[in-house]
Amino acid sequence: MTISMDIYALIAQELSIKRAQVQNVSTLLDEGNTIPFIARYRKEATGELDEVMLRTIEEKLRYHRSLEERKAEVLRLIDEQGKLTDELRCAIIQGEKLQEIEDLYRPYRPKRRTRATMAEGKGLLPLAEIVFAQELTKGSIEAVASPYVVPEKGVESVEEAQAGALDIIAQWIADDPKIRSLVRKLTEENGQLTTRCRLPADSEDQLPVTKYELYYDFSEAIGKIPAHRVLAINRGENEEVLHVAVVAPVDKIVAAIVERVIHNPRSIFQPLLQATCLDAYQRLIAPSIERELRNQLTEMAEEQAIKVFATNLRQLLLQPPILGKRVMAIDPAYRTGCKIALLDEQGDLLHTFTIYPHAPQNRWVKAKEELLTAAAAYGIEIIAVGNGTASRETEALAAEVIEESDRDLHYVIVNEAGASVYSASDLAREELPQLDVSLRGAVSIGRRLQDPLAELVKIDPGSIGVGQYQHDVNQKRLNQSLEGVVESCVNYVGVQLNTASPALLQYVAGISSTMARRIVEYRQEKGPFSDRKQLMEIRGIGEKTFTQCAGFLRIRGATNVLDSTPVHPESYDLATAILGLAQLPIENLSGDRDLSWLRAGLDDLGAEEVARKLSAGLPTVRDIIAALRQPGRDPREELPRPLFRKDVLTMDDLQPAMVLAGTVTNVVDFGAFVDIGVNRDGLVHISQMSQGFVTHPLEVVSVGDVVQVKVLDVDHRRERISLSLIV
């Protein structure tokens, strides 16, 4: 594509990075490299840009390339009309935003039938040009307009001729890109977004109670309204509860238009033009600008909501696995009973059964006995209770089981969002064909405690429920972002090639869902992989795909010990040379040896000196040394573990000033929700997160964090709990 502007320099300036970094990233992407691969194994080329920045560059490249394509199309369309001047061509080429290009094209865009086009059809264009020129300072308007009264063309009077000419001028004013830019700027800077209730009052003149009461008589500056309020207002409007409008400073805007349009105040047409400026604004410009600004607010709000959702999802996916523990998973329910799945240390299913502790059966004692027996028989160490229907009562049952058991048991509340979606999926039927749908849900709950990432990748990210207004945002954009987060997390952690499911493998850089299934089929037919290079035997995995995926796939007990590390095969010679400098045999990396000697030897090496001696890139050398120091390390191990409980609280137990431990379950723009062991998550408002100013809750907490909170207030009527991190 011919680039009319230096896109690389423009993006570099926007992101405060070097032009060469943008150009190198562009080249790597155009060559078919994936973001995780570039971030991890091409640090020298990118200047060690992280995945977030790489994805931002990718998005901006896409936008600017699309912009260049639109510029070329607009230039062609205007040129075909014979109206492309050098000045207009230059303005289009230099445009940096799509809105600028569309404003410049607006006067030349084919128009539907309007008052202006009808007036032109009646031959009133020359009259409009005379009026707009503003050259006449003497004489009467009637005398100027009378020659254009032509009944055969539908102009019956001087007034009709005058009105038609002014309609044409109003269209010119509305299409002027500089005027539109001016109006947009003044509305953005001074406008208010206002909302009113659309619902009728009751017999006592009271408006009905809804969740949108805050917005029944609401107004906020367009430039200051936060994302979550925009999305709430949009939802209220869509549900026909709210009437929403943009209130602009009309007098100020019209005065600015008049100042631009009227250049001869002594012209006899001055009063007509002044009125036409008002008409052009109210009839043609204001509705269009209001739509633009509402769309702009919505897009910004959606981007913020998607960003928060993506951040929360990343934290949820990177929750540390609970390794080496046998789990009893409970999917709570009332009438149909609680489904129980017992899992071994690897997540393999040992046994399932159903208990009926709640109404209408109320077999509490029998259910407890069954759980105690199963816990003892199968060596259970942790009880995972889903947080859905009947969770509160089932949690109490788990607490009694723990109290009466002679085992050291704990229970954990597990977010079961999306478990039902997984249970009914083709993947669940394939993985657990012998189980009923409801029992599959229990297995999913237990496995997502044992290894959140491996299990949650099986579920549509949008169904996991750790965002705000996720159903109100652009679903395509949301899914793209969330898919990127899942891909990032999977490749950050790495995947065990011999145990990973197709659902997990398909998120590895360069591997498609088809390739993922072929990998599993190969494993089933020929046994476990012992060498990363065996991947090349699979149909569809050539040199290019292997390069993308190999470093993210691990093999425990591999022939080459480096296959169990994040070191990429292209750097095996370099890794061996580094070990040679440290006088450490590569064979000693294998097994369960004490690696303190290895770390000591590597620590004695200076990465800069090694890079110089081996003529290698410093970032790559640093990464290899880090990988060799802790072969097989799971980066999630450094994160806080879930909060294990033995007893249970109710809302009645809560008192103001009480301090409790809780787990952050969701972070939104206005605060964070924390599970403190009762049936309802409490809210820590952003104002209660720190003694100092907090721009966004994500600065303070993340999903999965275990925090100490103080109870501020308990509203039993609305079932709301207010908490504070300021303990």
CATH number at residue 20: 1.10.10.650
Cα 337 to its chain centre, rounded Å, is 36
CA-closest candidate to residue 412, choices 321, 315, 532: 321
For residues 620 and 575, what is the distance between their CA atoms, to the nearest angstrom? 10
CATH number at residue 125: 1.10.3500.10
For residues 193 and 221, what is the distance between their CA atoms, to the nearest angstrom? 6
Look up residue 552 and give its two tokens.
């993210």
129 shares its domain with 198: yes
231 shares its domain with 121: yes
- 289, HSE (Cβ side, Cα atoms, 13 Å): 29
Alpha-helix runs per DSSP H in 222-363: 227-238, 250-261, 270-279, 286-317
263 shares its domain with 229: yes
Q: Which of 405, 426, 450 is the last residue of a domain?
A: 450
244 shares its domain with 132: yes
Q: Report pLDDT for 1.
A: 38
- Residues making up the chain, counted from first to last: 727
Percentage helix, strand, coil for the chain under 3-state DSSP, each rounded to 5: 55, 10, 35
For residues 670 and 690, what is the distance between their CA atoms, to the nearest angstrom? 13
Question: Facing residues of 450 across strands?
Answer: none
Question: Facing residues of 331 across strands?
Answer: 339
User: Measuring CA to CA, how many Å separate 131 from each of 125, 127, 153, 281?
Assistant: 10, 6, 20, 18
The domain in which residue 12 lies consists of 7-108
SS3 for 370-437 is: HHHHHHHHCCCCEEEEECCCCHHHHHHHHHHHHHHCCCCCEEEEECCCCHHHHHCCHHHHHHCCCCCH
Phi, psi of 202, deg, nearest 5: -80, -170
98 shares its domain with 69: yes
Q: Which of 591, 613, 638 is the last residue of a domain?
A: 638
345 shares its domain with 241: no
C-beta separation of 724 from 709 below 8 A: yes
Rounded to whole angstroms, the maximal C-alpha distance in the chain is: 107
Structural domain count, the chain: 5
CATH number at residue 684: 2.40.50.140
Look up residue 38 and give its two tokens.
């570039």
pLDDT tens digit string along 364-407?
A: 999 999 999 999 999 999 999 998 888 888 988 999 999 999 99
Q: Report pLDDT for 3.
A: 43
580 shares its domain with 691: no
Give domain status of residue 582, yes or no: yes
CA-closest candidate to residue 607, choices 636, 634, 631, 629: 629
C-beta separation of 449 from 299 below 8 A: no
Give domain status of residue 416, yes or no: yes
415 shares its domain with 563: no
Q: Vertex 85, ends 260 and 78: CA angle to 5°?
A: 100
pTM of the model: 0.84
- 482, HSE (Cβ side, Cα atoms, 13 Å): 27
Q: Which of 250, 273, 305 is the last residue of a domain?
A: 305
For residues 488 and 499, what is the distance between their CA atoms, to the nearest angstrom? 20
546 shares its domain with 599: yes
Give domain status of residue 455, yes or no: no
342 shares its domain with 431: yes
User: Measuring CA to CA, how many Å separate 255 from each of 222, 260, 281, 289, 551?
Assistant: 21, 9, 11, 17, 64
Taking 70 as the pLDDT cut, the residues of the chain under it are 1-5, 588-599, 638-640, 646, 648
239 shares its domain with 175: yes
Burial status of residue 532 (CB atoms within 10 A of its CB: 0-12, 13-18, 19 or more): buried
Q: Report pLDDT for 2.
A: 43
Question: Facing residues of 706 across strands?
Answer: 663
Look up residue 100 and give its two tokens.
């600028």
